[in-house]
Amino acid sequence: MIKPITTEKAVRLIELNNTLVVEVDRRDSKTDIKKEFEEMFNVKVDSINTFIRLNKKYAYVKLNAKNPAIDIATKVGMI
């Protein structure tokens, strides 16, 4: 399950780095997150960075330059 994060920093990352910030299941690996994200939104993911804070796992999903993150954010309702 992927839940979008809509903080000021997350919106700035969408605009500047073509990166989406999402909350994911803590048991998911980076490859699981990448596969799920690519299948769900039909985009190419370049890289994923994850971190755990307050027992929740967050992922920075950097998309390929051919797939604008702003389009995905609009589709999900982040912006």
Overall pTM surpassing 0.95 (yes/no) = no
Residue 30 belongs to a domain with what CATH number? 3.30.70.330
The 10s digit of each residue's pLDDT in 16-75 is 999 999 999 999 999 999 999 999 999 999 999 999 999 999 999 999 999 999 999 998
**φ/ψ (deg, to 5) at 38:** -65, -40
Planar angle of CA 8, 14, 19, nearest 5 degrees = 120
Positive or negative: CA dihedral 2, 49, 38, 27: negative
Q: Which domain, by its residues, includes 32? A: 3-76
Number of domains in the chain: 1
